[in-house]
């Protein structure tokens, strides 16, 4: 392991993340414009895991996050865009990273209080008015698309806000369980093909709600560990190419069901390290491809799950550093 430790280009990755944030007109920044909130979550969480969160100005970030809030309460991917449940989770996660959920709660300035209140109204609407459907599933926004991703997102954000009581958790769990397949995996809706990304969403939602007893851990563990290919990388479903992002989706799921020892950790570490741009920083999907913030996050988060020395541990269900999650649930 010691030889590998030196191979992680910590400073270069941190500088790469900060530089993407600052650039406004190159390709990556332009295609990310409408989902910048999600990008902010990936980038800032990566910096925190690397121990480099102090490279950004918290006030600047928080001001921008709050200016992405829609009057309905939900957060958009950027200023002036429509709100979506995914960006609302990203906003909550970014506020959590900077320990700003408490500041919102106690801030005497009425705007802040109102903002927080409106946010709760949105979450409340998630329950009553529409985003949770009769069958327990969740829609992502007013347009109604249903997906187990949205179940996870709702459960994660409400749990971080200590408001899980605002939804029907029993129905939400029942819906997720109805998306379980005979191979032990989960899809986006009942009967849909098992995919590692959806499996993460379902397993993490079940973990947060204390419902992992619904999972056949050996069957699912077997399906998940078969995702490791010769190069050491993981794919998202059979016959597909490996991709660094599955170092998160697959690995976190294996950890939550206690089967992470079923894959070759050292080979996976080597695969992730081979995907680094060692000169300019950043991590790509596969060796020698172009880097982006998404894969940089999943590479670094994957290494953290693999207990790579020098990295902050990340929580496999909440997808936030363990110290942030502990602060929210145990104080301190």
- Provide the binding-site residues for ligand GRG, judged by CB under 6 A: 86, 149, 152-153, 197-198, 201, 236-237, 240, 243, 245, 249, 319
- We find the least distance from the C-beta atom of residue 320 to ligand GRG, in angstroms, to be 8
CB of 200 to ligand GRG, least distance (A): 6
**Between residues 12 and 163, which has the closer beta carbon with respect to ligand GRG?**
163
Cβ 81 to ligand GRG shortest distance, Å: 17
- Nearest approach, Cβ of residue 222 and ligand GRG (Å): 19
Of the pair 144, 309, the CB lying nearest ligand GRG is at 144
3-state secondary structure the chain: CHHHHCCCCHHHHHHHHHHHHHCCCCHHHHHHHHHHHHHHHHHHHHHHHCCCHHHCCHHHHHHHHHHCECCCCCEECCCCCCECHHHHHHHHHHHHHCCCHHHHHHCCCHHHHHHHHHHHHHHHHHHHCCCECCCCCEECCCCCCECHHHHHHHHHHHHHCCCHHHCCHHHHHHHHHCCECCCCCECCCCCCCCCHHHHHHHHHHHHHCCCHHHCCHHHHHHHHHCCECCCCCECCCCCCCCCCCHHHHHHHHHHHCCCHHHCCHHHHHHHHHHCECCCCCCECCCCCCCCEHHHHHHHHHHHHHCCCCCCCCECCCCCCEHHHHHHHHHCC
Query: Toward ligand GRG, which CB reaches closer, 107 or 226?
Result: 226
Task: State which residue, 5 or 241, has the beta carbon closest to ligand GRG.
Answer: 241
171 contact partners, CB below 8 Å, separation of at least 6: 132, 135, 136
Q: How far is the CB of 211 from ligand GRG (least distance, A)?
A: 18
Nearer to ligand GRG, 11 or 329 (CB): 329
- Compute the least distance from the CB of residue 201 to ligand GRG, in Å: 5
Q: Measured at CB, which residue is nearest to ligand GRG?
A: 197
Residue with Cβ nearer ligand GRG (116 or 249): 249
Shortest distance, position 42 Cβ to ligand GRG, whole Å: 8
> Which C-beta is closer to ligand GRG: that of 4 or that of 251?
251
Phi, psi (degrees; rounded to nearest 5) at 83: -75, 150
């Amino acid at each position: 392991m010691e030889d590998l430790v030196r191979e992680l280009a910590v400073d270069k990755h941190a500088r790469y993340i900060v530089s993407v944030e600052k650039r406004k007109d190159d390709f990556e920044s332009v295609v990310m414009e409408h989902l910048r909130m999600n990008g902010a979550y990936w980038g800032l969480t990566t910096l925190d895991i690397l121990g480099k969160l102090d490279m950004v100005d918290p006030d600047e970030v928080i001001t921008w996050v709050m200016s992405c809030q829609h009057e309905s309460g939900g957060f958009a991917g950027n200023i002036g865009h429509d709100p979506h449940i995914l960006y609302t989770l990203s906003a909550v996660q970014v506020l959590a990273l900077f320990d700003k959920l408490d500041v919102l709660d106690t801030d005497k300035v009425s705007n802040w209080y109102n903002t927080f209140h409106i946010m709760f109204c949105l979450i409340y609407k998630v329950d009553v008015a529409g985003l949770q459907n009769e069958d327990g599933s969740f829609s992502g926004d007013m347009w109604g698309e249903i997906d187990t991703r949205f179940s996870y997102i709702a459960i994660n954000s409400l749990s971080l806000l200590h408001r899980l009581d605002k939804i029907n958790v029993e129905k939400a769990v029942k819906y997720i369980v109805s998306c379980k397949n005979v191979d032990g995996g989960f899809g986006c809706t009942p009967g849909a093909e098992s995919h590692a990304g959806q499996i993460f969403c379902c397993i993490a939602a079940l973990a947060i709600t204390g419902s992992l007893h619904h999972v056949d851990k050996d069957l699912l563990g077997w399906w998940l560990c078969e995702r490791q290919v010769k190069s050491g990388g993981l794919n998202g479903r059979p016959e597909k190419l490996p991709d660094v992002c599955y170092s998160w989706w697959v690995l976190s799921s294996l950890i939550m069901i206690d089967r992470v020892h079923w894959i070759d950790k050292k080979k996976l570490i080597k695969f992730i390290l081979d995907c680094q741009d060692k000169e300019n920083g950043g991590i790509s999907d596969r060796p020698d491809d172009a880097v982006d913030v998404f894969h940089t996050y999943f590479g670094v988060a994957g290494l953290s799950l693999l207990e790579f020395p020098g990295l902050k541990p990340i929580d496999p269900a909440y997808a936030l550093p363990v110290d942030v999650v502990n602060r929210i649930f145990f104080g301190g």
